Structure formats: structure tokens, C-alpha cells
């Protein structure tokens, strides 16, 4: 699998500039097209419902949102005009409640979304849910305020033998192939697993056949959670990114994240490549 289109969703956030830089570096490293979505949120649905009573505030609110989206787009165009990558900028206005719908519609033909963690956990979860579960696109999530000029070349892979983990690795192959160092970590693998005599051996062989040399280690859970164990182990190994599967299930069309995925979304100190 190749990554031909990288998308980033710019909002009116202090992190917009650093997020755009990370997306530029990622697109350049992968020789991919960069799609920038400038998203401004306008009136919510309750305000829209009141338009029949007084449409003027709604009209003014929509006009303001369009202007703010255009301003975001203009900033992105100015930043990108001298870059040596293929790119386009698209402006979109959401209504708060419709933001997820707009994100899904504009990212589903992407191969990777690069995004900073939101200032609120709820904001991060909603974006991750829309990208990972509904659009079905891998997400490279960056910690708040992190500057990333290009994807790190030392990467930790979280491996637990699951189809979800394997799918994430397959989609991350273009990044793994460019890395100088890949370390596979298994946290508390089952003692009765079929490959218990050589945990992860077949997976390491799979990576080797992809031209990716890796080291593999088995470790115990540290600090009360798998998420904190992965984050700590990546730091110890001087890895700059974690690749892992995004776990969850659907309930009334809302994705409910598993515990490890939820913790990584809120607490990881490193960039995390996730796929479902």
C-alpha cells in the first residue's frame, strides 16, 4: 500500500501552523499530495432551527463562518505557495454538529490524516471517530504543541497478534519502510498462544519480507495501563512515533473506543499512527 494523499484539517487553533508544518513534512517524505481542509464552525443546529423566527442572526453567522474559513484557507495558501510538494486547499463551513459529517466527506478519499490532538479530549475523540471508524482512514495524531518537521525515523510498533494491529501496520508500511529503526513491542502476550515459544516471530518475518528490519521485545505492563507502557517503552528506545491499531466497537452508530485506544488518544506524549 502507498500513501498518495495526506489530509490535514485546519481549525481556528493555536496549533494550526505547527500542524500544517507536520503535514507538509509528512507529504514531502512520502511524495504525496497534501489536501488541506480549512474548517470553520458556524451556528449550531439549535440556532438554525430558530431561523424561521429571526433569520438575520443566522445569515450573519453563516457569513462570518464563511469569512473565517476563507481566512484559514488564505493562510494555508500563503504558507504553501513556495513549497515543493503537490497541494490544494479547500474551505468548509460546519455547524458544530455537522463537523463530523464534513470531516468524513472530505477525508474518505485520503490515505492518511495528520492532526494535532484537540485541546479537549472530547474534540480529539470525535475527530478520531470520524476519521478512523467512519471515513476508514488512518490517523497520525500529534501531541499538543509538538513541532514535527518530518515523520520520525525511529518507530515503535505495538503488536498483539490482532487483525486490527496487522491492518494498522500494513497501512503504515510506507512510513516503516523509510524508518532507520523499527522496534516491535508485545505487552504481556498470552502464555497459551500458538507461537508462545517464539512470540512475534512470524510478524517479524513478515516485516523482513517487506524490507523492514526490526527488533522485537516482550515486556510486562507498566504503570497500570498498556498505553503508558507503550509510551514509556518508546521513550526508552528513543522512538519518535508509535504505530498501533485503533480498537472499538459500534453502538447506535457511535464508536466506543477501547481502553488502550482511549488512553493513547488523551495521554500519548509521542505522535501515534492509528488505523482501524
DSSP-assigned states of every residue in 134-166:
II---EEEEPTT---SS--SEEEEE--S-HHHH
Contact 270, 242 (CB under 8 A): yes
Lowest-pLDDT range of 38-47, 61-70, 85-94, 163-172 = 38-47
Final residue belonging to a domain, choices 142, 165, 195? 142
H/E stretch holding 215: strand 214-219
- The pLDDT of residue 145 is 80
Q: What is the pLDDT of residues 50-75, one digit of tens each?
A: 555 566 666 667 788 899 999 999 99
Half-sphere exposure in the Cβ direction for 188 (13 Å, CA):
9
106 lies in the same domain as 175: no
Number of domains in the chain: 2
Q: What is the pLDDT of residues 208-232, one digit of tens each?
A: 999 999 999 999 987 778 888 999 9
List the domain range (segments joined by +) for residue 218.
154-275
Calpha distance 253→54 (Å, rounded): 33
Mean pLDDT of 89-106: 85
Per-residue confidence at 254, pLDDT binned at 50, 70, 90? very low
Q: Cell 510478524: give the residue.
A: 203
- The pLDDT of residue 64 is 86
136 lies in the same domain as 9: yes
Is the model's pLDDT at 256 over the cut of 60? no
- By the 10 Å C-beta count (0-12 exposed, 13-18 middle, 19+ buried), 3 is classed as buried
Per-residue confidence at 253, pLDDT binned at 50, 70, 90? very low
Lowest-pLDDT range of 80-94, 106-120, 190-204 = 190-204
Per-residue confidence at 251, pLDDT binned at 50, 70, 90? very low
Contact 114, 23 (CB under 8 A): yes
Cell of 139: 490517523
65 lies in the same domain as 167: no
Cell of 193: 498462544
Final residue belonging to a domain, choices 142, 170, 193? 142
183 lies in the same domain as 113: no
Calpha distance 177→84 (Å, rounded): 22
The reply to whether 147 falls in a domain is no
Mean pLDDT of 37-43: 84
Amino acid at each position: 500500500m502507498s500513501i498518495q494523499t495526506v489530509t490535514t484539517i485546519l481549525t481556528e487553533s493555536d496549533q494550526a501552523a505547527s500542524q500544517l508544518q507536520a503535514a507538509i513534512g509528512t507529504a514531502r517524505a512520502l511524495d504525496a499530495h497534501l489536501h488541506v481542509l480549512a474548517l470553520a464552525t458556524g451556528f449550531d443546529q439549535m440556532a438554525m432551527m430558530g431561523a424561521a423566527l429571526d433569520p438575520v442572526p443566522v445569515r450573519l453567522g453563516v457569513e462570518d463562518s464563511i469569512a473565517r474559513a476563507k481566512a484559514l484557507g488564505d493562510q494555508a495558501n500563503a504558507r504553501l505557495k513556495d513549497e515543493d510538494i503537490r497541494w490544494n486547499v479547500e474551505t468548509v463551513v460546519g455547524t458544530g454538529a455537522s463537523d463530523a459529517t464534513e470531516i468524513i466527506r472530505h477525508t474518505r478519499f485520503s490515505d492518511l490524516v495528520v492532526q494535532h490532538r484537540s485541546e479537549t479530549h472530547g474534540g480529539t475523540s470525535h475527530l478520531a471517530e470520524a476519521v478512523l471508524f467512519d471515513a476508514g482512514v488512518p490517523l497520525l495524531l500529534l501531541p499538543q504543541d509538538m513541532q514535527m518537521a518530518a515523520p520520525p525515523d525511529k518507530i515503535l510498533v505495538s503488536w498483539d497478534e490482532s487483525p486490527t494491529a496487522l491492518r494498522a501496520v500494513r497501512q503504515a508500511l510506507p512510513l516503516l519502510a523509510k524508518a532507520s529503526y523499527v522496534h516491535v513491542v508485545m505487552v504481556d502476550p498470552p502464555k497459551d498462544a500458538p507461537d508462545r515459544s517464539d512470540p512475534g516471530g512470524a510478524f517479524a518475518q513478515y516485516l523482513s519480507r517487506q524490507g523492514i528490519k526490526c527488533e522485537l521485545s516482550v515486556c510486562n505492563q507498566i504503570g497500570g495501563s498498556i498505553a503508558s507502557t507503550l509510551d514509556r517503552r518508546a521513550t526508552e528506545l528513543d522512538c519518535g512515533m508509535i504505530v498501533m491499531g485503533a480498537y472499538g466497537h459500534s453502538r447506535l452508530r457511535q464508536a466506543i473506543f477501547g481502553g488502550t485506544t482511549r488512553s493513547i488518544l488523551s495521554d500519548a506524549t509521542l505522535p501515534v499512527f492509528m488505523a482501524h
